[in-house]
A and B are shown apart, each in its own frame.
Chain A
């Protein structure tokens, strides 16, 4: 309001300031116009470039590829989904992928809980900041570099083999290695939300619980756990989703193991069957949407 009543520019000639000032006053009165101006470009980008792309993807999942010519047949059919549901191979791979994502999430939770608890409640406050930095730094080291580090570690005759007593005696590459490396990659995404949740929990609550006679175990169940659960869920959205879509790590340390991501990748590349790849890609999306809807009630999504 004030800008329209005051006609004294702070500096510069009023001839230059005039139109700018009138425009800014006009905008001040028209909140809807301002909002539209703010949202036009981002919404254009996200709705057209992204939602549009997702829509094209899901529509193309209903198309098929002509087996002889390799051309895409743009007629809607559920054939791709029928193949996925009925074919044993796809069911196995889908279940294996979900299993890997779940295992990674559980492992990360088990490793992250004591670490985050130590950082938030046991370590001296001036050490906390450095511990957070120590957890964060590997996030900036390249994803590939970390997967590669494990490829070197687990290689035939590499350091892990050496620990176990000679070439070929370590676990080597495979499904176990995939779970281990994915757990390694996403561990900070689990530690940090739990740490943030625990940091907000006042020490006085823990003391009160102890004063009222609760032992450490009971305090953990009744006081710490209710605070930690939403944080774990927030972290699990990352660990689960990131594991579910991964196909790089499994190529690097997984040996011959196949996950949904590999099948999608193969169908786009070598098999040149984009519609089928699109149909396969809807599996992780549906699982993630189901997961997000299920955890939404916990209020964990506010913490993302």
Chain B
């Protein structure tokens, strides 16, 4: 489109303002982790690295981080398995209720998190509790896996659509059995889609707080839950700030990996 000079400059300005809107709050958190003032008065009177040392020694934060990693890995493993299975079924077969199945996969993430959370909580209370199974890390993993399936499903489905079934047929024609075809043909085609989907699933799980609130057993604290429960305590604020700064810096890692793995422009996060 032939845009006038001023229209181009307006759009460029809007883009710059938008990016500033997105990044300024994050920058402030990074700067504040060096702010020597306890109440984060602005502009900072002095700078310090003391909070970083204190955060490093914080046992609660480290324990919560480890719980989050465990929950993320568990949920990712289940999501990889279930998501891949559904993607194969939906892509390779035509069956009654196929649309319903793909809707069912999307539903846990389409409904508000609090609904998924209390639905699972109600189910745990009224179905599992009478059997003597209480909530714990296990129930967190179940909750997370339920909404993580969709991201693996989307990635694998997109890859299957693009690759088609010709390679598999060629493999079968050349005498490979089902396992060999999967091992030498299908899996290598899917590998990067699985990695991207797994990364996304882990990221979703690692960041989740609402479903976690409702599915975590007593004493199970993931990192978001730990942050949230310490957010309103003034004397914990500097430590929270450092943890927040670390998480902001760490968010560059998955985006770098996703850019290398995923072939969609969005990095597959949508």
**Which A residues are within 8 Å of any B CB, using their own CB?**
1-3, 6, 8-10, 17, 20-21, 23-25, 27-28, 31, 34-35, 38-39, 41-43, 45-47, 49-54, 56-57, 60, 111, 114-115, 117-119, 121-123, 129, 131-146, 148-153, 155, 157-159, 161-162, 184, 187-189, 192-193, 195-196, 199, 203, 206-207, 209-210, 216, 219, 237-238, 241-242, 244-248, 252, 261, 264-265, 268, 274, 277-278, 281, 284-285, 288, 292, 304
Contacts and interface: CB of A to CB of B under 8 A. Distances in A.
B177 A20 contact: yes
Contacts of A49: 120, 123, 142, 146
A163 to B, nearest CB: 9
B29 A132 contact: no
Tell me the interface secondary structure of chain B in the complex.
helix
Nearest to B173: A2
Interface string B96-118: 00000100111110111111101
Interface in B1-33: 1-4, 7-8, 10-12, 14-15, 18-19, 21-23, 25-26, 28-29, 32
Interface string B29-54: 10010000001111100000000000
A135 B146 CA distance: 27
A268 to B, nearest CB: 6
A196 B41 CA distance: 41
B85 A278 contact: no
Given A2-B175, A132-B265, A140-B203, 20 more contacts: A1-B172, A10-B176, A42-B86, A57-B115, A119-B15, A143-B209, A144-B224, A149-B26, A152-B29, A152-B40, A157-B39, A184-B22, A199-B265, A206-B1, A216-B1, A248-B210, A264-B118, A278-B122, A281-B119, A292-B110
B207 interface: yes
A264 B82 contact: no
Contacts of A242: 112-113
B121 A268 contact: yes
Contacts of A278: 118, 122
Given A50-B146, A143-B207, A155-B40, A3 B118 contact: no
Interface residues of B, number: 98
Given A193-B270, A261-B112, A141 B248 contact: yes
A47 B104 contact: yes
A122 B86 contact: no
Interface string B54-86: 000000000000000000000000100111011
B76 to A, nearest CB: 15
A146 B224 contact: no
B29 A149 contact: yes
25 contacts: A1-B172, A10-B180, A27-B178, A46-B146, A50-B107, A52-B123, A57-B119, A114-B18, A122-B3, A136-B258, A136-B266, A137-B252, A138-B23, A142-B244, A144-B224, A145-B247, A148-B29, A148-B240, A149-B28, A159-B28, A161-B42, A196-B265, A241-B111, A244-B112, A292-B110
